[in-house]
Structure 1
Amino acid sequence: MAETVALAGRGILILDPSSTLISGDAHLDEGIVLWPSIIIQNLGGRIDIGRGTELFSGTRIVAAGGAVTIGAETDIGEEGGFTIKAGSGDTIDIGDGARLLGGGSLSLTNRIGRGAQILGPIRCQNCTLGDGGTYRDPVPDQRGGVLKGSGAARHVEVPQGHVIQAFGLFTDAVMRRQSYFHPKG
């Protein structure tokens, strides 16, 4: 508990240190916000979390022999937490400005690009979402790749400016331009 509280001296905001578990060898940059009930657990792997990232309640990050790298200014776990687990030999890379919301999970090896989003309780395994602007970018087709809905996404690739919405298996769903969901007009 004392080690967790000491992180505040490094510019990390921990809203409830008594409900927050952080492995001592996880690397956290300054400006990170940790909501209550967060677990960051390094079990023989590597965890790096970039500056300004916000981890919401119910988020669990585990490196069980693998590596988890989270870029700067990401939002993870709003609307139901999120689980990120890299097993032995797995690598999970999450780019700057990504958003992972709504109770989903990443396991095995995944690359979630800069500005990419996972919106909903989606179990992602071996997925790649392309780099792009964040959800605030005024041009939807320039944003990072998006998965939204619920279900399982395995070996799915979504390039910049595209989205797959599904309720079940994402490999069976249609990929569309983001402007389909956010038309100008």
Structure 2
Amino acid sequence: MNSLLQKIDAARLACGFLTVEAMMEVLDGNHVLDPFSTLVSAGVAFGKGNILYPGVTLKTSGSANLTFADNNTLHAGCLFEASLGDILVGSGNCFGEGGFTAKANRAGARIRIGNSGRYLNNPGVFGETTLGDGCQLLGGITVDSCTLEGGGSYEEPDPDLRGGLLKGRGLARNLTVPKGKVIAGEGGFVQADLLPQSHFHPKT
């Protein structure tokens, strides 16, 4: 068994990831459901109470930082890569189910994610993007250098007080979505299609 673990650790180190033991030290105080399918680089920092499902990859290189606060849930198929810019994640977010990707892997990239957001069904986030508190990405959306303004979470009773929302599929680039607003796209997203979230979720 020790020989097998040595081989696993050697492969991880060769690809720029921590050994299983070193990873578990970094993730102390969090819930790693399958350490052998979880990959974490040096340079990743964690708070407490985060849940990592099998098949999560957290990769850094150079001087870039990848930081998580507390009580986030990372479902299977989540990939975070900070190579040419930082990725900073707040608390209480849900990434996946259905996958999630965030890459700060080009010049000028920086991704900031607030608290209590939902990012489901395989969205991808790139460039200089800010997702404020309570924001949501729902669907296979490529989000490139957008700002979604913060507000309440999806549990906020008044939908027009929730964080900005993109839902559907396609490319969203250089957009700003204010608090309480949504753009629903099917192949592409444009600023002119902004609607109040109550358009889809009438107030009671």
TM-score grouping bracket, smaller chain normalisation: over 0.9
Match for 1:126 among 145, 148, 173? 145
Are the counterparts in 1 of residues 159 and 203 from structure 2 also a CA contact under 8 Å?
no
Match of 2:78 in 1: 59
Query: Which consecutive segments of 4 or more residues in structure 1 shift more than 2 A?
Result: 4-8
Are the counterparts in 1 of residues 59 and 82 from structure 2 also a CA contact under 8 Å?
yes
> How far 1:174 moved relative to its partner?
1.4
Superposed, 1:136-175 pairs within 5 Å as 136-171=155-190, 174-175=193-194
Gaps of 5+ in 2: 1-19
Per-residue CA deviation, residues 130-151 of structure 1 (Å, 9 max, x unaligned), is 1100000011000000000000
Secondary structure of 2:79's aligned partner: strand
Gaps of 5+ in 1: none
Higher strand share: 1
Match for 2:114 among 85, 89, 95? 95
CA distance in 1, matches of 2:86, 2:203: 40
Secondary structure of 1:141's aligned partner: helix
Higher helix share: 2
CA distance in 2, matches of 1:135, 1:55: 18
Per-residue CA deviation, residues 90-117 of structure 1 (Å, 9 max, x unaligned), is 1100011111111110011100011000
CA distance in 1, matches of 2:195, 2:180: 9
Kindly report the root-mean-square deviation, in angstroms, between the aligned alpha carbons of the 2 structures: 1.2
CA distance in 2, matches of 1:180, 1:166: 15
CA distance in 2, matches of 1:72, 1:128: 18
User: What amino acid maps onto 2:49 in structure 1?
Assistant: G
Are the counterparts in 1 of residues 176 and 191 from structure 2 also a CA contact under 8 Å?
no
Matched length: 183
TM-score, with structure 1 as normaliser: 0.95
User: What amino acid maps onto 1:27 in structure 2?
Assistant: A
TM-score, with structure 2 as normaliser: 0.86
